[in-house]
């Protein structure tokens, strides 16, 4: 079993680093072979541009997804840093994204990793498939992140809104989009405000989550079969919305 941890924090002494280290230790103990992409240490380029390809199908006009698809066809068309990350991703049965929640989403370097590495023609699209027919169907992915706010702020009555709503673009629009079974996120709330014992408790809870991976039920997302491609990919008649984003006539779990 192989796991990939993509770690995105600029401070090696951060609590995110502690979570990353705990995941490495626990997964290794459980028999996983763990690889880490430390994006800041690698100096990973966050911007998607023409330099991501060894050759261009159209040197005069950059259509990024088209060039990704072309690079996938040639077999060696991606820049070395992109190709290396794609290889890590393809080898991993478990993906953990470890990051601080900044502005309700990823740090720019991690968003750039997704933009450049989740490449059209390799990770999604065309014959590769998407959503419940996606490339990584049967593999697992989870978010592990820190917040500045208390847990209650990410609740249904909280100032920031329910965590599942905040995380929908990532958990559905990125991870489910490419076929992963998305595990519930691990949220280390306000580690800077809970003291040493509070941080120790968070690390212990993360350890327990990792040890229970096989018993953890993935989040629910509607399969493609629930949508009608002839009706602009809307829910088929008789299918009730069961997510925070898909509802019908006010129904659903939002």
Q: What is the pLDDT of residues 85-125, one digit of tens each?
A: 999 999 999 999 999 999 999 999 999 999 999 999 999 98
Q: How high is the pLDDT of residue 159?
A: 94
Measured at the CA of 217, the angle between CA 213 and CA 219, to 5 degrees, comes to: 120
Give alpha helix (H) positions in 36-170. Answer: 39-42, 64-74, 80-91, 108-117, 163-166, 168-170
Mean pLDDT of the chain: 94
Q: How high is the pLDDT of residue 248?
A: 67
Confidence of residue 192 (pLDDT cuts 50, 70, 90): confident
Mean pLDDT of 10-17: 97
Q: How high is the pLDDT of residue 252?
A: 44
Question: Rounded CA gap, 94 and 247, in Å?
Answer: 30
Mean pLDDT of 120-132: 92
**What are the residue ranges spanned by the domains of the chain?**
2-217, 222-254
Confidence of residue 254 (pLDDT cuts 50, 70, 90): very low
Q: How high is the pLDDT of residue 40?
A: 98
Q: How high is the pLDDT of residue 76?
A: 87
| CATH classification (class only), 2-217 | alpha beta
Which residues are CB-contacts of 143 (< 8 A; sequence separation ≥ 6)? 96, 97, 99, 167, 170, 171, 185, 186
Q: Strand, helix or coil at 188?
A: strand
Confidence of residue 253 (pLDDT cuts 50, 70, 90): very low
Q: What is the pLDDT of residues 20-35, one digit of tens each?
A: 999 999 999 999 999 9
Please answer whether residues 38 and 29 qualify as being in contact, where contact means their C-beta atoms are separated by less than 8 angstroms: no
**Is residue 249's pLDDT more than 70?**
no
pTM across the whole model: 0.94
């Amino acid at each position: 079993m192989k796991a990939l941890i993509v770690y995105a924090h600029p401070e090696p002494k951060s609590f995110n680093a502690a979570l990353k280290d705990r995941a490495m230790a626990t997964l290794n103990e459980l028999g996983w072979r763990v690889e880490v992409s430390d994006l800041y240490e690698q100096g990973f380029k966050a911007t998607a541009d023409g330099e991501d390809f060894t050759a261009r199908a159209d040197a005069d006009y950059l259509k990024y997804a088209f060039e990704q698809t072309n690079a996938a066809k040639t077999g060696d068309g991606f820049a070395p840093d992109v190709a290396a990350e794609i290889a890590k991703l393809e080898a991993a049965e478990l993906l953990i994204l470890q990051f601080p929640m900044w502005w309700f989403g990823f740090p720019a370097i991690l968003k750039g990793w997704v933009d450049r590495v989740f490449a059209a023609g390799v990770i999604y699209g065309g014959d590769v498939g998407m959503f419940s027919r996606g490339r990584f169907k049967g593999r697992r992915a989870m978010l592990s992140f820190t917040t500045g706010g208390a847990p209650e702020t990410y609740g249904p009555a909280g100032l920031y809104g329910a965590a599942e709503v905040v995380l929908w673009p990532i958990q559905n629009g990125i991870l489910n989009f490419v076929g992963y079974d998305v595990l519930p996120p691990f949220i280390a709330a306000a580690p800077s405000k809970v003291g040493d014992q509070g941080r120790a408790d968070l690390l212990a809870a993360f350890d327990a989550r990792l040890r229970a991976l096989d018993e953890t039920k993935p989040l629910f997302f509607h399969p493609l079969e629930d949508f009608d491609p002839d009706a602009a990919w809307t829910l088929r008649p008789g299918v009730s919305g069961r997510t925070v984003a898909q509802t019908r006539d006010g129904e659903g779990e939002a």
